[in-house]
Chain A
């Protein structure tokens, strides 16, 4: 089945820094979604992208749907401690039946000690 490669697997942030993570696939996707998951909770939808080249912001978060439709990135500007968590990209492949989402392996965002 389709696979999403998400990188980096983990990163340390210092308050005020900008951070970036991305997702790539060998398949074309119709939709890209970015979620954040905190311990013991379900994923929370941050941003949804529907068109190639689309750039969408939600507060300090910005995400883009790649032109090739095979990748997406998420930026967090001026990070704060509550940005800690696991960020997942998810997409709906063009050839997928129904609406099932394929998830990346996640980027774990941690605070620098």
Chain B
């Protein structure tokens, strides 16, 4: 299965703990995007990364949130000192490099559902 993989699927944290969400893009894709979805709402863009580069983080909260996409390994979305308002579904998507067919099409993983107690 060459789809976008995310883990864990469910994550429970207490207030003040750290949450780490992982995403492996589809094979052959070099662009990764993170989105957040609250219940009954659409997805909201957070950050767009290429290998070792953050391209657009205009949707990321200024504090406690960070993302990386290292040369080797999955992309990581890190939330420090979680609060109840961070509870949401976090989705990762990937797309091919620019210039390739379907460059503008983003394919989503199954998501990580974060619950902050």
> Out of A44, A50, A105, which one reaches B104, CB within 8 Å?
A50
**Does B25 reach chain A (CB closer than 8 Å)?**
no
Binding site for B on A (CB under 8 A): 4, 6, 30-31, 33, 35, 40-45, 48, 50, 88, 90, 92, 97-106
Most chain A C-beta atoms within 10 Å of own C-beta, residue among B6, B43, B91, B110: B43
Interface size on B, residues (CB 8 A): 28
A97 / chain B contacts, CB cutoff of 8 Å = 55-56, 58
The docked-state distance in angstroms from the alpha carbon of A103 to that of B41 is 9
Binding site for A on B (CB under 8 A): 4, 6, 31, 33, 35, 41-45, 48, 55-56, 58-59, 91, 93, 95, 102-111
Q: Are A42 and B109 in contact (CB under 8 A)?
A: yes
The docked-state distance in angstroms from the alpha carbon of A104 to that of B41 is 8
- Could you tell me the distance in whole angstroms from the C-beta of B31 to the nearest C-beta in chain A? 7
B55 / chain A contacts, CB cutoff of 8 Å = 97-98
